[in-house]
Amino acid sequence: MNHEPPLFPMFLKLTGRNCVVVGGGQLAETKVESLLHAGARVTVIAPEATGKLSQLHQRGIIRWNSRAFDAGDLDGTWMAIAATSDDQTNEQVYRECERRGVLCNAVDQPERCHFYFPAVVQRGDLQIAISTNGKSPSLAQRLRKELEAQFGPEYQDWVRWLGEVRQSLMARRLSFEVRKRLLAFVAGRESFERWRRTRNSESSYREAA
């Protein structure tokens, strides 16, 4: 039985990093949007591109080289996404990334991936990423929907509030153990329920006024 090595989970800071997306269809468009959201500098390599990708290029948000992939497209690149329907092109991108030590993801082709795009629950600064190591993206999507129901939009404001509390405590001259206990308390379920009740009460008061 073939056992896949365990994945190393992490969240990357892509701001200002050069990323290449090979392909100009809907799959490529989705990956481009994710990379732009993370602040990456994106170049698309494809003879043709969707209307949205073309607009992003016209607005100067991405670069678009309207041609087939060339190995030189990876010069100075930190990450590459192969998102074409052509198996040969995806293989070429992956092999060139392997040779250069560039991170590569070939969409829906686990054997040509150094990493996977997880299913993500996004609530402001709170991100919950789910991976099945490429075994079942459908399961990852189902779990994402369940977690979105469990962690509602209010978590965005709560995490922002937790950040403010943490910053305030870090500015005070408290011992490490005391600060650790306080931060654990305010991040607990009881604290969340109290914060939510207060928030709902203030919202009701404003509506009544």
* pLDDT tens digits for range 64-82: 999 999 999 999 999 999 9
Q: Are 64 and 57 in contact (CB under 8 A)?
A: yes
pTM of the model: 0.81
Residue 204 predicted with pLDDT over 60: no
Q: In what order do the strands lie in the sheet with 41-45?
A: 63-65, 41-45, 18-22, 79-82, 103-106
Q: Measured between alpha carbons, how far is 25 from 84 in angstroms, rounded to an integer? A: 7
pLDDT interval class at 207 (50, 70, 90): low
| Average pLDDT of the segment spanning 125-135 | 90
Closest CA to 115 of 130, 124, 103, 98: 103
